[in-house]
Structure 1
């Protein structure tokens, strides 16, 4: 599935009712929207392996594709709250790589778990930080980022208006 189609799917699912049951914690939002960029090939390879491990252990759906640039699960199934994932690895001109995260469901009551929390957990795990531990170098934001926030860079984050379907 290409990124444009995935973004449209995520936003389309948001419009069909993936409603949020509350506000997303600003600290969770900050972690979820911070770009996941590895510095060199050895680090990127370790992070990519961690990404696959995280998806394998957190997805209700089976992994349908696992390549050097894509990890994608099946789903979402109609009316299911479980998250489907698409993880991408894109090489940058400076020799780094960016790992993108997308999570979405297809239920009017919202997703379980919350996609923003899943994104934050994923990024902390891939970086080697324990879940719920403060992330070095990241200062909590005072307000949740919006689609125009600098952290919402291409390939990183397209926050839905309701906070449920997301692409990072």
Structure 2
């Protein structure tokens, strides 16, 4: 009886691990494409969208919102909710790169998946989609649909899927 129970538990644990960390290749492509705005006007619009996205998607409150950093509280207490850190770094050619980082403190992984959150963030900031808010906050207005052909961004996952940073 104990062997059967142990074997069953191992099978369940293995099945749970087999799906964790798998990311749709299309989501991965979007999440790893650099997010670079082409001029000050576009960068200002994208930065405002970035703040709107974080405010509407974070379970944690925004602790800092400057011209170069948007950062939420967290992660803490073993929660699976993502904490965000968004950076804006000017480039010598007048463009700027908007960086995305998401982390959680959950031993069972993050919810939402950091790769999916990164892809959703980048599409929203570029204005290619309107994403639904993930928190109880009021939904934001739809972003314009214009997209610069050289728009880009970069994301790198943690080894166990808990974090994605750019």
TM over 0.5: yes
What SS does the aligned partner of 2:157 have? coil
Verify: 1:66 aligned to 2:65, yes or no.
yes
1:157 Cα offset (Å): 2.7
The answer for the alignment partner of 1:162 in structure 2 is 160
Verify: 1:86 aligned to 2:67, yes or no.
no
Task: Tell me, in whole angstroms, the C-alpha distance in 2 between the residues paired with 1:32 and 1:49.
Answer: 19
Task: Tell me, in whole angstroms, the C-alpha distance in 2 between the residues paired with 1:131 and 1:32.
Answer: 16
Q: Which runs of 5+ in 2 are unaligned?
A: 1-16, 132-146
What SS does the aligned partner of 1:110 have? coil
CA contact (8 A) 2:77 2:105 kept: yes
1:77 Cα offset (Å): 1.1
CA contact (8 A) 1:76 1:83 kept: yes
| Bigger Rg over Cα | 2
The answer for the alignment partner of 1:118 in structure 2 is 117
Task: Tell me, in whole angstroms, the C-alpha distance in 2 between the residues paired with 1:51 and 1:34.
Answer: 16
Correspondence 1:3-42 to 2 at 5 A: 21-42=20-41
CA RMSD across the alignment: 2.3
The answer for the alignment partner of 2:95 in structure 1 is 96
* Residue-pair matches, total: 133
Residues 22 and 157 (structure 1), Cα distance of their counterparts in 2 relative to 1, 3 Å cut: closer
The answer for the alignment partner of 1:108 in structure 2 is 107
Task: Tell me, in whole angstroms, the C-alpha distance in 2 between the residues paired with 1:52 and 1:116.
Answer: 18
Residues 136 and 31 (structure 1), Cα distance of their counterparts in 2 relative to 1, 3 Å cut: farther
The answer for the alignment partner of 1:46 in structure 2 is 45
1:29 Cα offset (Å): 0.4
Residues 124 and 81 (structure 1), Cα distance of their counterparts in 2 relative to 1, 3 Å cut: same
Structure number with greater CO (CA < 8 Å, separation at least 6) is 1
Task: Tell me, in whole angstroms, the C-alpha distance in 2 between the residues paired with 1:104 and 1:123.
Answer: 16
